[in-house]
Amino acid sequence: MGSPELANLYQQVILDHSKRKKGFGLAEGGVAESHQLNPTCGDEITLRLHLADDDTIERISWEGAGCSISMASASLLSELVPGLTRDEARERIALFREMMRSKGAGVEDDEPLGDAAALEGVSRYVARVKCAMLGWVAFEDTLSLSS
């Protein structure tokens, strides 16, 4: 069995999402696509942005392969973003990035991140932050590409 720190890193919600990935499988259409690679371990994600008629985010779809953190993070992101405006999405990305850079300290209010707040434990492990960021960076990229 692992230590409490390890259990905090791999919370059940993360393990669940890494196995049953939300938004997995690239859907037809979409306004932009981004491919991101983590060269140290070969994790990769291709992500597509799908917008509603009012320019809010309808959903993201993605595929890829990698460690449980990168997969769970992209899955949790898929749950979070439907219905957000572009600005709201950018705020969530900024907040998530701040959490990832917090070295275990977390952020004041992680409410806007929904279940993705469970990834806070990753910030203690500098080597894994890139894994958690992979899907979010792809998402950020599609927002820029489509604006």
Partner 1 sequence: MTIHDLSETPTTGAPRTDTLGDEEALRLRGDFPALHQSVNGHPLVYLDSGATSQKPFVVLDAERRYLETTNAAVHRGAHALAAAATELFEEARARVAAFVGVREDEIVWTSNATEGINLVAYAFSNASAGRGGSAAERFRLGEGDEIVVTEAEHHSNLVPWQELAFRTGATLRFVPVDDEGVITAEAASEVIGERTRVLAFTHVSNVTGAVSPVDEIVRMAHAVGALVVLDACQSAPHLPLDLAALDVDFAVFSGHKMLAPTGIGVLYGRSGLLNAMPPFLTGGSMITTVTMERSEYLPAPQRFEAGTQRVSQAIALADAVRYLQAVGMDRIAAHERALGERLLAGLADIPGVRVLGPLDAARRTGLAAIDVDGVHAHDVGQYLDDRGVAARVGHHCAQPLHRRLGVTASTRASTYLYNTTADVDAFLEGVAGVRSFFGEA
- Rule CB under 8 A: which residues touch partner 1? 1-3, 5-6, 9-10, 15, 19, 40-43, 65-69, 125, 128, 131
* Contacts with 67 (C-beta within 8 Å, 6 or more apart), sequence order: 41, 43, 128, 131
Contact between 99 and 117 (Cβ < 8 Å) = yes
- Least separation in angstroms between residue 3's CB and partner 1 is 5
User: Residue 20: which H helix or E strand, with range?
Assistant: none
91/97 Cα distance (integer angstroms)? 10
Residue 3, judged by CB atoms within 10 A of its CB (0-12, 13-18, 19+), counts as: exposed
User: Residue 123: which H helix or E strand, with range?
Assistant: none
- Least separation in angstroms between residue 42's CB and partner 1 is 4
- Least separation in angstroms between residue 28's CB and partner 1 is 27
Supply the DSSP string of 59-105, one letter for each residue. Answer: EEEEEEE--HHHHHHHHHHHHH-TT--HHHHHHHHHHHHHHHTTTT-
Nearer to partner 1, 1 or 53 (CB): 1
Nearer to partner 1, 80 or 132 (CB): 132
Nearer to partner 1, 70 or 78 (CB): 70
Nearer to partner 1, 10 or 59 (CB): 10
Nearer to partner 1, 41 or 84 (CB): 41
- Least separation in angstroms between residue 114's CB and partner 1 is 22
- Least separation in angstroms between residue 115's CB and partner 1 is 18
